[in-house]
Amino acid sequence: MLSRSTEIYATHGVPIPCDIYTDADYAPDAPVFLYFHPGGLKWPLISADFRQMPQVGQQGLLEDARAAYDFARTWEAKEGEERHVIVGGASGGFFIASLIAHHAQPPPTALFSICGIATFRHPFFNSSKLNYVDGFDDVDMTQFIDMPLWLGQTPVNSPTSFEVGRLLPNGLKNTDFQQLEEEFRTKPHRGTLYEYYIYKNAWLNLVGDIDPGYEWARKPENAARVEEWPPTVIFHGDNDPDVPLGVSRLVQEGLGEDKVRIVVAEGLAHLFELMSYLEEDKPGMEVVREALKCLDEIVEGSK
């Protein structure tokens, strides 16, 4: 039966926890899925919190990514051995996952992106685009920029948070699960910083030193580095106003279609699958299932 535990994977000024979802029936040498939030497949899943920008700074963000990866590789592994690790994330969480592929050794077994930000070196993030319909007041945003160091954690009562009770032992939806009411959240809230920094063209100033983008992959002298890059599976809606599909296309154009598979959900927006279950016949869920099938084949082929 699926169980959840919480462990501290690193202490970088503050203890940084991760939630671990596993089952006693899972093989002790099964690969681990390290997920960075904004398993099915009989893989233990480690969902890692991380210190948030801008307070942590880009080197601190990279430090958390590496620490989470090191933790996942050795989690309950036999002495002298390491786990295979699939690294994935949704939306901004995939940026953390991509840092591991860029900066950590050995490379992950695979990368998995859910409408993810693979790089901020895309014109969208330097477009002065205003997605926030109410506009921005610099004074209002200062409260979030100047706040103390903060860990990205989904509120327990949020309808987007995961609870083990949402699933039956066979992994299907538990229709008897009762969601607690979420506290009302006013705008602007801290998440609005994402749009604010797009409007201010500030993202590359914040993370540019650790985000190499993918232009390097086009150069013949980097062929060995491209070869080492982990197989990458992405699903993304082509009507995504928050992270355009072009951000994922940029990765594929740089690394090549043999390295990066993109499954497109036509007409769907950002995180279209967020409130759905894998077996449900909702818009785009066939795309999610196809992407997971691709990922499963990659992992099987790596054994």
Alpha helices in 34-84 (DSSP H): 57-74
pLDDT at 156 (0 to 100):
59
pLDDT at 163 over 80: no
Q: Per-residue DSSP letters for 185-241?
A: --SS-GGGHHHHHHHTT-HHHHHTTT---SGGGGSGGGHHHHHHSPPEEEEEETT-S
The string of pLDDT tens digits covering residues 108-148 is 999 999 999 999 999 999 888 776 656 677 888 888 888 88
Q: Could you identify the residue written with the tokens 């818009």?
A: 283
Parallel, antiparallel, or unpaired for β 15-22 and 45-48? antiparallel
**Dihedral in degrees, nearest 10, Cα atoms 301, 90, 215, 296:** 10
The set of residues, in sequence order, having a beta carbon less than 8 Å from that of 243 and lying 6+ positions away, is 91, 115, 116, 117, 124, 236, 270
Tokens of 15: 């203890």
In this prediction the pTM is 0.87
- Give residue 289's pLDDT band: very low, low, confident or very high (50, 70, 90): very high
Mean pLDDT computed over 211-216: 98
For residue 86, the model assigns a pLDDT of 97
Structure confidence by residue, pLDDT tens digits, 69-120: 999 999 988 888 999 999 999 999 999 999 999 999 999 999 999 999 999 9
Residue ranges of domains in the chain: 3-120+204-301
Considering the domain delimited by 3-120+204-301, tell me its CATH architecture. Answer: 3-Layer(aba) Sandwich (3.40)
Alpha-carbon distance of 142 to 164, in angstroms, equals: 37
Q: Using the predicted structure, report yes or no on whether residue 41 has a pLDDT greater than 50.
A: no
